[in-house]
Structure 1
Amino acid sequence: MAGEQASARVDSWIWSVRLTKTRSIASDACRGGHVRVNGVRVKPAHAVRAGDEVRLRHEGREHIVIVARVITKRVGAAVAAECYVDKSPPPPPREETAPVAVRDRGAGRPTKRDRRSLDRLLGRHPE
């Protein structure tokens, strides 16, 4: 397969298998300490090989994948899914996610009282 190698940069691989939308997001995640390879925080240029465990915290979830095939070129979603074994925990049910505050259309700007009650509902205010 084109783009297949023995090892590749971890940021490039994360982007190639579509765990992030862009390579720069993958690089920023590495620099921010959100990527671990075999339990060790890594920089974007760290080499990843087949059999490595990659943990990525992205968009509020942790992705845990085992590298099955190393690629450097971005491929289709079906092919990308074959390049790793997903060991990630299932996403939380929709009921457990934070409630979304909904206001009636045309209700205008929220008052101070409305804002405080919304903050309390969303758990952002101690009162």
Structure 2
Amino acid sequence: MAEKEKLRIDKYLWAIRAFKTRTLAADACKAGRVKLNGTNIKPSHEVRIGEVYQVSKGIDRKVIKVVGLLENRVDAKKAVDFYEDITPVEQTQAFKSMFHAPMLSRDRGAGRPTKKDRREIDDLKDDFFDKDE
């Protein structure tokens, strides 16, 4: 595809599909959610091959290494060729395990939990969160 020597970080993040729009990518840079070597960068920062960026998007955190420069947005299969996801495994697993928390539900109209119910709920929560540590 078209490669360029100078490319803005907001345009690059949009092209590799890290953000849905270029405006969202620029806003993330302005808010300090895109970092290079631990320092915040502006949306106009020039991307260079080999640089490593930390991108935070909600609770999702990724570490991306630039492999190639991509000027225009392409489909996801081609976009993967222009960056390398080097996010540590423990960060990835921590993100996934957040969605496997026990879902406690009570019947509608059951009223407030009794003291016994509260103890059982607390025991369930404590047992689940102690296993991860």
Bucket of the pairwise TM-score, normalised by the shorter protein: 0.7 to 0.9
Q: What are structure 2's unaligned runs of at least 5 residues?
A: 126-133
Q: What are structure 1's unaligned runs of at least 5 residues?
A: 122-127
| Larger gyration radius, structure 1 or structure 2 | 2
RMSD over aligned Cα atoms = 2.9
Of Structure 1 and Structure 2, the greater helix share is in 2
User: What is the aligned partner in structure 1 of residue 93 from structure 2?
Assistant: 92
TM normalised by structure 1 equals 0.72
Runs ≥4 residues deviating over 6 A: 110-113
Query: Which deviations, in whole Å up to 9, do the C-alpha atoms of 1:35-71 show, x marking residues without a partner?
Result: 1124321011111111111110112122111101111
Query: Which deviations, in whole Å up to 9, do the C-alpha atoms of 1:14-39 show, x marking residues without a partner?
Result: 11101122222211110110111243
The answer on 1:60 being equivalent to 2:74 is no
1:94 to partner: Cα distance: 7.4
Aligned residues: 115
Of Structure 1 and Structure 2, the greater strand share is in 1
- Checking the alignment, whether the CA contact within 8 Å between 1:7 and 1:47 is kept in structure 2 is yes
User: What is the aligned partner in structure 2 of residue 25 from structure 1?
Assistant: 24
Alignment of 1:72-111 (within 5 A): 72-90=71-89, 91-92=92-93, 96-97=97-98, 99=101, 101=103, 103=105, 107=108
The answer to which of 92-101 and 47-56 deviates more is 92-101
